[in-house]
Amino acid sequence: MSNEVLVTVDDRGIATLTLNRPDALNAFNADQIAGFNAAMAQVTADPAVRVIVIAGSGPVFCSGADVRYLKWAGGLSYEENKVDARKYAAMGESVYAASQPVVARVQGGAYGGGVAVAAACDIVISESSAKFAITEARYGFTPSLMVPYLLGRIGQRECRRWCLSGETMPAADAFRIGLADIVVDDSLDDKVAAVVDSLLMNAPVALAESKASVGENGYPPIDAAMIERTLDAFVAGRGSEQASEGADAFIAKRPPRWAMEADA
Amino acid sequence: MTEKTVLVDIDGRGVATVTLNRAEVHNCFNEAVVIGLRDCFDDLAGRDDLRAVVLQAEGKSFCAGVDLNWMKEIGTFTEAENVADAKRMAGMFDKLNTLPVPTIAKVQGSAFAGGLGLIAACDIAVAADHAKFAVTEVRLGLIAAAISPYLIAAIGAGAARRYFQTAERFDAAEAKRIGLLHDAVPAAALDGAVDGILANILKNAPASLRACKRLIGECAGPITEDIQNDTAARIAAIRATPEGQEGISAFFEKRQPAWMAGTEG
């Protein structure tokens, strides 16, 4: 088992998945995605697990997809790209579909795919100093896979703004629009522990039924057709010439050719 | 016509600025404005080099909605003409909503009725914090129709139930709270706020933005031609009713409409 994602399950049934590539600010690459999916499969199938906490080691929760991984995926054939993209999409799907409540512990920041994973969680708890940004378009691809979860959390209005502008927002804005549910000035761990304690007071089956009921009746409904549509958009995006330019520019530490310097 | 009612300027960055230019009547829209906007959005939609659109207005008000002089004239129309006019209005909002690039409403003053539709059909909206807003149609015996799909998508059914039915005024802070605006800033900071968002957009890959905007619209539920035709039919029907006629007549006769007698304004 890789150590890209650490898994612990304590005797109260609290499973903690820790993204563990701190040197890369926990950017998702193929190994970490596989590790995450394996860990989610393990803990969601474990009848002893009552709550799942998703955390990141180091200064930042998750900086999104690793640009080198995206570049690699962009070079695949459309079909191979889509097979791989399904694994990326499976992270959000497994969090959203887990019968146990899933809590995101966000320190430092969540960017791109890091926002996607957080958005799919039931409760997002963030440090007040953390930053959020939906940065995909900066690199020439699209935040397609998270759109269903974002629409459910922040609605179309805020989705349009933050997906199109790629602006960085402070945790206070993330809280205001519904991307973060709880923002704390003091100890993040204390708050996560308190929320987990309250979840453990609730009946597991009732929690599972409640979560399913909210998911099934939410708008928009996140069904197979929605997932397929977002996958196609994501695959087309990261296979595009723009995505290739975005990755090259990032690696070469130069602005991509579309970037304009404006006076603001 | 001496002055153009809709001005368009496209700068070297590919940012189009569309300006409502009827300040003397609070930028309310008549047939010429609706056609002007529709044709302008049509033209912009066809430009491959376009990166963003800013919709702004001249003068004190952003937009006071439909010109009631025009609305009065519609009262003399045949049913077919009435419906055709309502469909043209719905089509204009659709073209704004589906412009392929990010759109920003730069709201320098108050907006009422159809003016809120223009704001809601833009992707991003920033206003001067002194601006006031209201969904005023029911005061005139009419309903918010063509703008409803966009406004409800922005503010949600909960806020729509209140403001569509009370027609009460609300301030920019409340408009931000319910989702009509993304930001409300002091008037002197409005240019800077919009420029800041534009600067972010111009760092992003154009094809990504177009794909992203299209996907959000599809996932959130597209505003189909059926919906547009339905809203057009509803406004066409209600403005031909005695109540609709009474509301417009009362406005021009500067008196309270019949249903308001005995109430406090």
Write the secondary structure of chain B as one string of H (helix), E (strand) and C (coil): CCCCCEEEEECCCCEEEEEECCHHHCCCECHHHHHHHHHHHHHHHCCCCCCEEEEEECCCCCECCECHHHHHHHCCCCHHHHHHHHHHHHHHHHHHHCCCCCEEEEECCCEECHHHHHHHCCCEEEEECCCEEECCHHHHCCCCCCCHHHHHHHHHHHHHHHHHHHCCCEEHHHHHHHCCCCEEECHHHHHHHHHHHHHHHCCCCHHHHHHHHHHHHHHHCCCCHHHHHHHHHHHHHHHCCHHHHHHHHHHHCCCCCHHHCCCCC
Contact residues, chain B, for A233 at CB < 8 Å: 211, 215
Q: What is the pLDDT of residue A146?
A: 96
Q: What is the pLDDT of residue A263?
A: 42
Q: What is the pLDDT of residue A40?
A: 98
Q: Is A163 in contact with B201 (Cβ distance < 8 A)?
A: no
Q: What is the pLDDT of residue A215?
A: 85
Q: Considering only CB atoms, which residues of chain B are within 8 Å of chain A?
A: 13, 51, 102, 123-124, 153-156, 179, 182, 192, 195-209, 211-213, 215-216, 218-221
Q: Is B220 in contact with A164 (Cβ distance < 8 A)?
A: no
Contact residues, chain A, for B216 at CB < 8 Å: 147, 151, 156, 159-160, 163
Q: What is the pLDDT of residue B263?
A: 66
Of A163, A255, A258, nearest to B212 by CB-CB distance is A163
Q: What is the pLDDT of residue B48?
A: 95
Of B13, B154, B216, nearest to A260 by CB-CB distance is B13
Among chain A residues, the shortest Cα distance to B212 is held by A142
Q: What is the pLDDT of residue B100?
A: 98
pLDDT of B27 > 60? The answer is yes
Q: What is the pLDDT of residue A264?
A: 39
Percentage of residues in chain B with pLDDT exceeding 90? Answer: 91
Q: Is A151 in contact with B216 (Cβ distance < 8 A)?
A: yes
Of A139, A165, A260, nearest to B124 by CB-CB distance is A165
Among chain A residues, the shortest Cα distance to B105 is held by A161
Q: Is B207 in contact with A240 (Cβ distance < 8 A)?
A: yes
Contact residues, chain B, for A220 at CB < 8 Å: 219-221
Residues of B taking part in catalysis: 137
Per-residue pLDDT reduced to its tens digit, B86-115: 999 999 999 999 999 999 999 999 999 999
Of B155, B199, B221, nearest to A262 by CB-CB distance is B199
Interface test with A, best of B185, B198, B212, B213 (most A CBs within 10 A): B212
* Residue B105: closest CA among B166, B172, B46: B172
Of A137, A139, A158, nearest to B212 by CB-CB distance is A137
Interface test with B, best of A145, A160, A235 (most B CBs within 10 A): A160
Report the gap between the CA of A57 and the closest CA in chain B (Å). 29
Among chain A residues, the shortest Cα distance to B150 is held by A157
Q: Is B208 in contact with A230 (Cβ distance < 8 A)?
A: no
Q: What is the pLDDT of residue B264?
A: 57
This complex has an ipTM of 0.87
Q: Is A264 in contact with B198 (Cβ distance < 8 A)?
A: yes
Report the gap between the CA of A25 and the closest CA in chain B (Å). 22
Report the gap between the CA of B24 and the closest CA in chain A (Å). 31
* Residue A107: closest CA among A32, A168, A167, A57: A57
Distance between CA atoms of residues B213 and A161, nearest Å: 10
Mean pLDDT calculated for residue range B226-230:
95
Which of these ranges, A103-117, B51-65, B68-82, B222-236, has the smallest mean pLDDT?
A: B68-82
Per-residue pLDDT reduced to its tens digit, B2-13: 579 999 999 999
Q: Is A242 in contact with B206 (Cβ distance < 8 A)?
A: yes
Report the gap between the CA of A52 and the closest CA in chain B (Å). 28
Contact residues, chain B, for A167 at CB < 8 Å: 197, 200
pLDDT along chain A (264 residues), means of 10: 89 98 97 97 97 98 94 94 96 96 98 97 98 96 95 95 97 98 97 97 93 84 91 93 93 91 48
Q: Which domains does chain B have, with CATH numbers?
A: 6-189+201-212 (3.90.226.10)
Report the gap between the CA of A79 and the closest CA in chain B (Å). 19
Q: Is B182 in contact with A262 (Cβ distance < 8 A)?
A: no
Residue B262 gets the label, from left (phi > 0), alpha (psi -120 to 50) or beta, of left
Sequence ranges of the domains in chain A: 5-189
Q: Which CATH number fits domain A5-189: 1.10.730.10, 1.10.580.10, 3.40.190.10, 3.90.226.10?
A: 3.90.226.10
Q: What is the pLDDT of residue A180?
A: 98
Tell me, what amino acid is at A105? R
* Strand ranges inside A27-181, DSSP E: 51-56, 102-106, 109-111, 123-127, 131-133, 168-170
Contact residues, chain A, for B220 at CB < 8 Å: 151, 156, 159, 220
Report the gap between the CA of B40 and the closest CA in chain A (Å). 22
Please report which confidence band the pLDDT of residue B34 belongs to, taking 50, 70 and 90 as the band edges: very high
Q: What is the pLDDT of residue A261?
A: 62
Q: What is the pLDDT of residue B160?
A: 96
